[in-house]
Amino acid sequence: MDRPYPETEAIFVSLQSIAAALCIGLLTLQASSNVLQQGTFADHDSFGCEANPTGNPIGGGEGYSDILTRGDFTVRNKDEFFAALKEAQAGQVIFFPDGVEIDLTGHEWVKIPGGVTLAGTRGLNGSRGARIFTTQKKVVGLASDGHEIRLTGLRFEGPFGGIEKTPEMATFFHIKHFGVEIDNCEIYNWNREGVYGTLGASKLYVHHNHIHHCQYSGLGYGVVLYYADARIIGNFFEHCRHAIAGGGHPGTAYEAAWNLFSGETNGHTLDMHGGKDRGDDTNIAGDYVLIHHNTFMPGNYFPEIVIRGTPAQGCEIHHNWFERAPNRAMWLFGVNSRAYKNIYEKDKKTQDGTIEGPNRKINAEGKVVTIEPQ
């Protein structure tokens, strides 16, 4: 994972210095369920995502309950879209009817005003949702320009979904504001990343989307966070190098629950970087990581989860179904990372005991063993 976007460089350096100074205090912070605020059916008595008590289908689409069918502005082409963005106020909806296709090639960093919703009808009577796309290979498509934006029921197609290392990289949505929600969308072919949350993007909510083909070799993220926190719930991820990743800086955290992870990938599925990755002389791996009630279908030889340091408030991994041998499930390098009550392989074998860091994984015989520290 490379460095954040240019506007956060100065903050990146200063926060790393502060983090290094506070390292000892942060590492002694004890994790607890009260601190971690597990709030999305975390105590549900099931394994994997199949029970799905969220009220909407994994990945959204057919059967999704909160589909908007009208708005304050109805747009059918690019000119109408840009005109609506200039006029729309907080609380208003820009609506894209089924069958609309809008080509944003030649435009980048298209700013979405605070409080505005972009809405389509994905999942309604067979609708795939209006398609907003670009063929421009080096681009940031959309950018937040205020708090509490919502994108719902739309398809956002990038220029390229392969793994090849090319000079051109594409990002779908750059977010630096509070309370942004992305739901019931299809987000695909953005080779660098689909959703990028950076400083200011607190309480990001990414749920019931289909996110796929974000797999640039060495980058390639479905959702990636720097100094940002997110709930990532009920999504279908496939063909992403890392479906979810975090830079591990103070303020970075996520809860991933009720997601389905599938498809051939070229990296481990879930990630949180530690201090060694950033070179800041700490072992901090963000604030917290919560991973529960997900189904991981095997797509490569990489482990599914790698936590590369110590989250300040802890890491909890439970009630997941890994459809592969336990030794390929997770590598935990943090002092306060804990995995328990997970099942493995197609016959849903249980793993006795708790896996607790630092530097622990399960070996091929099902034993918890030590691995070399990062």
86 or 347, which is more confident: 86
Confidence of residue 329 (pLDDT cuts 50, 70, 90): confident
pLDDT of residue 23: 35
At residue 111, what is the residue type? K
Q: Looking at residues 137-166, what average pLDDT do you find?
A: 92
pLDDT of residue 148: 98
d(CA 121, CA 70): 9
Q: Note if the pTM is more than 0.75.
A: yes
Strand runs labelled E in 134-267 = 139-145, 150-152, 155-160, 170-175, 181-183, 186-190, 193-197, 204-207, 210-214, 221-225, 229-233, 236-240, 242-246, 253-257, 260-262
Closest CA relative to residue 43, chosen from 347, 318, 323: 318
Q: Looking at residues 14-21, what average pLDDT do you find?
A: 37
Confidence of residue 283 (pLDDT cuts 50, 70, 90): confident
Decide if pLDDT at 213 tops 70.
yes
Q: Looking at residues 68-78, what average pLDDT do you find?
A: 98
Quote the distance between the C-alpha of residue 176 and its chain's center.
15
Confidence of residue 2 (pLDDT cuts 50, 70, 90): very low
Render pLDDT for 222-258 as a digit per residue (tens, 0 to 9): 999 999 999 999 999 999 888 999 999 999 999 999 9
What are phi and psi for residue 92, nearest 5 degrees? -100, 160
Confidence of residue 364 (pLDDT cuts 50, 70, 90): low
6-12 own/partner pairs: CB under 8 Å, 24+ apart: 8/198, 8/199, 8/226, 8/227, 11/199, 11/227, 12/226, 12/249
6 or 182, which is more confident: 182
d(CA 120, CA 68): 7
Q: Looking at residues 135-143, what average pLDDT do you find?
A: 94
Cβ contacts of residue 143 below 8 Å, gap of 6+? 109, 110, 111, 112, 173, 174, 175, 176
Q: Looking at residues 273-284, what average pLDDT do you find?
A: 83
d(CA 48, CA 343): 8
Confidence of residue 133 (pLDDT cuts 50, 70, 90): very high
Confidence of residue 268 (pLDDT cuts 50, 70, 90): confident
By three-state DSSP, how is residue 44 classified?
Answer: coil
Q: Looking at residues 149-172, what average pLDDT do you find?
A: 89
